[in-house]
Amino acid sequence: MGFEVVAIALLGILAVLGAGLLLAWMVYLLIRRLIWKTTHRVLDRTVDQVVQAGERHLVSGVGTLARSVQEEMRKNDPRRQEADISRLAQGKSGRITVADVMAGLDLPQDRAERTLEGLASRGVCRVTSGEEGGKAYLFEAFMARREVACCDYCGGSFEEVDADQPCPNCGAVLTRKQILA
């Protein structure tokens, strides 16, 4: 009689563990289909940990998986990356490079370049050659400006001339404009 009780208890434990492992495997397969390709590495590690932990840690492992996937998806959101790049450019007086983005935001080079080129194609910034021949991206909205008197007729610009005076070159009316410093 004692052997039968132990056998039934062992069968019950094995059934619970088997159901937990089966459930963990089914969750793994479902989530793997729904998650971006870049998160598979995180997903695989987390699911392996969940399966090894067994039924006892299944709920906390799935919670950890969800938080890891959510953080990875948040980190890889293109809109968030563009906003982070804009904040980085603002902190660097409107001029950044791919290396600045890679270091400041912990992004791989291809993603940093792709995001910067996307911003440039939409006119948020413009591409220029850097000091060492590399590309620099200028965010003019964050660059310092100065006020000058400009002549719309001859195209002259003057820093020391009052806008109320006529143009020293052609005598036309001068206007005040903000230009990049």
Averaged confidence pLDDT in the chain: 78
- The fold adopted by the segment(s) 78-141 is Arc Repressor Mutant, subunit A (1.10.10)
What integer pLDDT is reported at residue 178 of this predicted model? Answer: 72
List pLDDT tens digits, range 23-35.
887 777 776 666 5
pTM given for the model: 0.49
Both tokens of 77, joined, read: 């959101």
